[in-house]
Amino acid sequence: MAFPKDFLWGGATASYQIEGAAQEDGRGECVWHRFSHTPGKVENGDTGDVACDHYHRYREDVALMQQLGLNAYRFSISWPRVIPQGTGSTNPAGLDFYDRLVDALLKANIRPVVTLNHWDFPQALMGSGGWTNPDSVQWFADYADVMSRHLGDRVTYWITHNEPWVVAFVGYWMGRHAPGGNSLPGGLKAAHHMLLGHGAAVPVIRQNVRNAQAGITLDLHRYEPASDKEADIQAAIREEGVHHRWFLDPVFKGCYPADIVELMGENLDGIDLEAIKTAAVPIDFLGVNYYMRFLIADNPGFPPMHNRLVYNDDAEHTAMGWEIYPQGLILNLQKFNENYDLPDIYITENGAAFDDAPPQNDVVEDPRRVAYLEAHLNEVESAIEQGLPIKGYFVWSLLDNFEWSYGYGKRFGIIRVDYDTLKRTVKRSALYYKDRIAQASSG
C-alpha cells in the first residue's frame, strides 16, 4: 500500500463558492459579488449570495466530512469577510466564523488547511487597481498577518494563493472572471504582485505559526502539442510556459522564464522583473491542482501567444468539456521533479463536473465521477510508489457549488446540494472515496 499512514485525505472548497451570507455580519463586498451581480457575466444570473449556505450550515458539513472519514479539509478565507475594506479594521464577526469552523474541524479530528486567496478579493481595493497596484503585495502580507495570528494556534497548513494564473489572466486579461479586466499588461502585473505577495506572506506566516507548513497552489494541467508539427510543438511550449513556468520559476528559482519574457515583450513594461527574486522564499509544499489535458496548436492570429486549443474528439470529456487524462498528473510531476527542487506535494484539487441524475433512495449515482476519482487516485498511488513526495489529496469538491462564471450549472461535488432546499445528499463518489480512504488507512 503506497499511501503513508499520515497521508492527508481531504475535500476542498472556497469561500465565495460555498459560504453565502454575502452581506451578513459586516462582510465587505468582494470582486465576485460585484462581477456576478453585473448582468451577463455569470450564466443564468447566478451569484454567490446564498451558495451552499455553508456560513450557517458548516456544522452539518463538518459532520458529513467526518462520516466520510476525511482527515483534512481545505477551505479559503473570505478576505473582505475578515477585513471588509481589504486593509485596516477587522470584522470580529467574520473572524469568529472562521474560529468556529476551525474549532469544529479540530473537534472532528479534521486538519484545517487554509487558503488565503481563493479569488474573492476585496472590492474596496479595486479603486486602487486591485492586484495591478504594487501596494497589493503589502495589503496581502498584512491580511496574512491578521489571519495567521488569529488562527495560527490551531492551523498549521497555509496556502497563500489558489491558481494565480486564473486570477491574473482570466480575471485581468480575458475578463471572463472577476474583476473583468481586458488588458494583458494588467494580467502580467497582477500575476507579478500575487507572486511577490506570496513571497512577502510566507515569512509572516512562519513568524506567527509554530511548525507552519506554508505553500502555494498552482493550476498545473497537462499541455501537449496537437500534432507532431514543429509549429504546434512550439505552441505547446509557449502555453505550458505561461501556465507552469511563469509561476514555478519565480517560486523555486526567483526568476521569470526567458522565452516567455521575450514572448510578452512590451506587455511587461513597467514591471521590475528583477524584483521577482523575492518570490523564491522557502516553502514546505507545492499545492497542485490537476484536472485535464489541453492539446495546443499554432495560431498566428492570436498574439502574443500565437496558439489555440484543439478539441480531442477521441477522448472522454467532463461536463466542462475538459479532456480526462489521468496519466498527465504523473507526467507533470515527473517533469517538475526534474526541473525544480520540489518540496512535499499536495494534490490540492482534483475532480470533475458531470450532469448528475437526481438522487434516488438518498444517494446520487455518479459512475463517471467514481471512475474519474479512481483513475486519478491510482495515478497518485503510482507516483508515490515512484518516490514522488505526495503527502495528501483533496477532492474538488466536497460540495456542489458556485462554479464561477458557469454559476450553479456545473456540479463538481461528491455531495449534492439541492439549491432550492439546500439539502445535502451524498453521491456514490463520496462513498467510493470513503472506502478508498478506509482501505488505505487500514493497510
> What x-and-dash track marks residues 142-181 binding ligand IFM by CB under 6 A?
---------------------x------------------
Within 10 angstroms of residue 295's Cβ, the number of other Cβ atoms is: 22
| 20 CB-near residues (< 8 Å, 6+ apart) | 48, 49, 50, 51, 52, 53, 54, 55, 56
**3-state SS assignment for residue 415:** strand
> Cell triple for residue 208?
506567527
Q: Which is nearer to ligand IFM, 7 or 396 (CB)?
A: 396
Give the shortest CB-282-to-ligand IFM separation in angstroms: 25
> What x-and-dash track marks residues 255-294 binding ligand IFM by CB under 6 A?
----------------------------------x-----
> What x-and-dash track marks residues 414-443 binding ligand IFM by CB under 6 A?
------------------------------
Type and span of the H or E element at 365: none
> Cell triple for residue 335?
517533469
3-state secondary structure 386-437: CCCCEEEEEEECCECCCCHHHHHHCCCCCEEECCCCCCEEEEHHHHHHHHHH
Regarding 403 and contact with ligand IFM (CB under 6 A), the answer is: yes
> Cell triple for residue 101?
469552523
- Give me the half-sphere count of Cα atoms (radius 13 Å) on the Cβ side of residue 150: 24
Closest CA to 141 of 163, 120, 161, 171: 161
State the number of binding residues for ligand IFM (CB under 6 A).
8
**3-state SS assignment for residue 302:** coil
> What x-and-dash track marks residues 6-35 binding ligand IFM by CB under 6 A?
--------x--x------------------
Give the shortest CB-347-to-ligand IFM separation in angstroms: 12
381 tagged catalytic: no
Q: Which is nearer to ligand IFM, 113 or 276 (CB)?
A: 113
Distance CA 12, CA 32 (A): 19
> Cell triple for residue 340?
525544480
| 156 CB-near residues (< 8 Å, 6+ apart) | 111, 209, 210, 211, 212, 213
29 tagged catalytic: no
Q: Which is nearer to ligand IFM, 80 or 164 (CB)?
A: 164
Given the residues 19, 29, 323, 349, the one annotated as active site: 349
Q: Which is nearer to ligand IFM, 112 or 257 (CB)?
A: 112
Regarding 239 and contact with ligand IFM (CB under 6 A), the answer is: no
Q: Within positions 361 to 400, which residues make up the interface with ligand IFM, using CB under 6 A?
A: 396
Active-site residue set:
163, 349
Task: Give residues in contact with ligand IFM (CB under 6 A).
Answer: 14, 17, 163, 289, 349, 396, 403, 412
